[in-house]
Amino acid sequence: MAKRSAVRSSTAEFEKAAKAAHKAEKYVLRLYVAGINVRSSAAIRTVMAICEENLKDHYELEIIDVYKQPTLAKGEQIIAAPTLIKKLPQPLRRFIGDMADKERILVGLDLRPKK
């Protein structure tokens, strides 16, 4: 039994260290929107709320209007808006369309485990 207890302790310590390292990572996100409209505003509010609630002081969010900066959108191959791109930490992830499903975004950003 002593070995099993030591394994649990080591696992708990590892998980604690992994969470601390995860929080220290800086998230680099880009949100592409198409002009100022209801859908774009809702996406901005949702993504900003997710960042503030879950990544406080550990994120960089750039909001890009594809009408004002079409070359950036073309370079990222944006085909629909809103689109959220997680550049860092790796792997790169894309969320296309409605940003209202916070749980989907949290899982995609590796901030919550899949259920």
pLDDT in tens, 2-25: 555 555 566 666 545 545 555 568
Q: Which residues does residue 33 pair with via DSSP β-bridges, in sequence order?
A: 65
What's the total number of domains in the chain?
1
The pLDDT assigned to 109 comes to 93
In a domain, 103, yes or no: yes
Q: What is the mean pLDDT of residues 85-105?
A: 95
In a domain, 101, yes or no: yes
The pLDDT assigned to 21 comes to 55
Q: Give the range among 20-34, 37-51, 57-71 with minimum mean pLDDT.
A: 20-34
In a domain, 46, yes or no: yes
The pLDDT assigned to 32 comes to 98
3-state SS, residue 43? helix
Whole-number average pLDDT of the chain:
86
Residue 38's domain comprises: 25-108
Query: Which residue type, as a one-letter code, is found at position 52?
Result: E
Quote the percentage of the chain above a pLDDT of 70.
78
Residues in the chain: 115
Q: What is the CATH number of the domain that holds 67?
A: 3.40.30.10
In a domain, 32, yes or no: yes
In a domain, 13, yes or no: no
Cα 79 versus chain centre, distance:
19
The model's confidence at residue 64, banded by pLDDT at 50, 70 and 90, is: very high
In a domain, 17, yes or no: no
In a domain, 66, yes or no: yes
pTM of the model: 0.77
The model's confidence at residue 93, banded by pLDDT at 50, 70 and 90, is: very high
CA distance 83 to 40: 10
In a domain, 12, yes or no: no
